Structure 1
């Protein structure tokens, strides 16, 4: 369901109560899927804001949490750019969507739209993921006094130590949540004015059950891969940050020694032309298959023998826990949050970034020892169930949102 961002109250209607706002989206029995009457607690009204046009790990997170909290009885709305993959998937999942044109950073038109939206929807929580969203909706929340702002920091990059960022993170954000301890450490180290106590950590999670089932033989057949082939997969954006050049060089070296090794690339990005050129020039080019953007990730993960993620830095690396949930070993670089996910020697291998030889050797080790690969996959699944499950993540976010909402003046 799409909620119009510019709806106005009827003349003379006066100030709406929280139970009457947003076209029938009150806290009890609303037509947007809130199940407050069936809950043994007061349902929250949670508004997520996302300004990104591309679809990646952060957008996967938005959908997971929006759907999960909605299923738990809370009202959830998603503010996002119109005509994006995120909007399409949210609508398909039944999550209420508010199309929003963000414009310039802290642009007066965007802030005015945010002010109107908050006054109409009266959320308890406003959750942002990018600094642009934080500044736009954080400022609107301060002006209106509506909602508590929870900002999710999902990239392992330092903050700039200047007045702009200090105001953004200490005045506009009520709570900051990092997706890993590595991200939290980078945040507080780069911003001495940001108190550690204000930065929480909640890991991303997946539903392990979505990755159950046998490998799709027909899918491997579509790829031109037989049962004896060792299929290495990469899932993510084709850009420099993901270490694509290192991956191609490492695969070329591995393919010389192990002719059964194949490489599947899932994703789009600016390096797609370079991948195409590499395939034309390399002797191993016929064993590289770019699939482009795909939605059937669980099916793909089940059909791989190994997932690699040779990133230079990461936000979180959710594809790692997806592969581990599918009982696949992983090889990744020891950067950002990745060492918190992958236990080297148990669930896969960690290698230095921009080191094609180390990556090649890790691939060869697993290609030549299928029993080791299977054992690492089994341990990876156990690790996901223990530390990176969707149910655990949703419980943590629900608890954090409820605590933040309870601290709002007047409650």
Structure 2
């Protein structure tokens, strides 16, 4: 099968980019011919190393550039002749829809950021991939027929992006609690800061490491500095490879208020952390509905604190939850994601398939 992935850019620190790059590389390993079109970025060399051809398609959202990009993409489809175009973001879906109609190429879209108002535009696809069952339900409520939606739960384990990464744990003080994610409101970091401050008052050896950057970094840093536990909180900033931090951690916490299917949870589980995360969107699905990690209500610092106290004060509980993080972890492998996506492509292509010669 010839597959063209389309997304706005290929830069690091964006979950949808990681998911698309992981998927494209895994599909090549399964024997398919894959290309990726975007505005370029950090992963171009990795893609080329894995035999993936790259093209440039502008994603500027002004009428003139949009029209030019549609024309350019249409020409690319006629030259490269994919069987399916897989669009990963809203602008990508808008550009791909007319180009695919003109060239009679199947269009598949993936809803990565369901919380955005414009996510309904992903319904332009012949088939729509939801990265969790929770996202699928949300898209159905927005008017996309369940008959066109396929759930393909995110997973990263075994991806080409992880090749050559450091397997040496970061040297951290213990008990070490780690957060990895973008520093913006929907990730809920203030809830974790409040919870940690309460726990640290009783267990002063505990340490919190915040890995990531974003628009609220300064305000969150100021918030932490005003707490009694300030000296026990470290902001590490954005990291190209946060995995060593998870390898060095005892506990990983994701206090999100909204999160369709965060890739970081499969990495935290692969690293063997005990996991605490909020019961929102696709998070329970990534934690086996609570079998592989502790689920707490969103926006509940007290409940996060309770879970942290249990793990910090009871070595047996910490050991047990670290072991539980491995339950069902095979379901988070990228080859499972790649095979499931290929099945979706088959359903999208089906109506367009030419009858075999008799």
Q: Indicate the RMSD between aligned Cα atoms, in angstroms.
A: 2.6
User: Could you say which residue in structure 2 is the equivalent of 1:73?
Assistant: 31
Q: Is 1:63–2:21 an aligned residue pair?
A: yes
Q: Is 1:398–2:342 an aligned residue pair?
A: yes
Aligned CA distance change for structure 1 residues 74 and 215 (closer, same or farther; 3 Å): closer
Q: Is 1:198–2:148 an aligned residue pair?
A: yes
Distance 1:396 1:49 in 2: 18
Aligned residue runs from structure 1 range 178-197, under 5 A: 178-191=130-143, 194-197=144-147
* Distance apart, 1:208 and its partner CA: 6.0
Aligned CA distance change for structure 1 residues 51 and 160 (closer, same or farther; 3 Å): closer
User: Could you say which residue in structure 2 is the equivalent of 1:300?
Assistant: 245
Tell me which moved more, 263-272 or 372-381: 372-381
User: Could you say which residue in structure 2 is the equivalent of 1:121?
Assistant: 80
* 2:260–2:283 contact (8 Å) kept in structure 1: no
* Distance apart, 1:390 and its partner CA: 1.9
Which of 58, 64, 71 is the aligned partner of 1:101?
Answer: 58
Distance 2:7 2:262 in 1: 19
Distance 2:167 2:86 in 1: 37
User: Could you say which residue in structure 2 is the equivalent of 1:173?
Assistant: 125
Structure 1 SS opposite 2:3: strand
Aligned CA distance change for structure 1 residues 134 and 344 (closer, same or farther; 3 Å): closer
* 1:180–1:337 contact (8 Å) kept in structure 2: yes
**Which one scores higher on RCO, CA 8 angstroms, separation ≥ 6?**
2
Q: Is 1:90–2:35 an aligned residue pair?
A: no
Aligned CA distance change for structure 1 residues 215 and 124 (closer, same or farther; 3 Å): closer
* Structure having the higher Rg: 1
Q: Normalising by structure 2, what TM-score?
A: 0.89
Q: Is 1:367–2:317 an aligned residue pair?
A: no
Structure 1 SS opposite 2:326: helix
* 2:207–2:233 contact (8 Å) kept in structure 1: yes
Q: Is 1:265–2:207 an aligned residue pair?
A: no
* Distance apart, 1:255 and its partner CA: 1.2
Distance 1:390 1:324 in 2: 14
Distance 1:320 1:119 in 2: 39
Aligned residue runs from structure 1 range 190-339, under 5 A: 190-191=142-143, 194-207=144-157, 216=168, 219-220=170-171, 223=172, 225=173, 229-339=174-284
* 1:55–1:85 contact (8 Å) kept in structure 2: no
Q: Is 1:142–2:87 an aligned residue pair?
A: no
Structure 2 SS opposite 1:382: coil
Aligned CA distance change for structure 1 residues 188 and 138 (closer, same or farther; 3 Å): same
Q: Normalising by structure 1, what TM-score?
A: 0.78
User: Could you say which residue in structure 1 is the equivalent of 2:7?
Assistant: 50
**Unmatched tracts of structure 2, length 5 or more:** none
- Size of the aligned set, in residue pairs, is 349
* 1:105–1:132 contact (8 Å) kept in structure 2: no
Structure 2 SS opposite 1:315: coil
Distance 1:159 1:345 in 2: 29
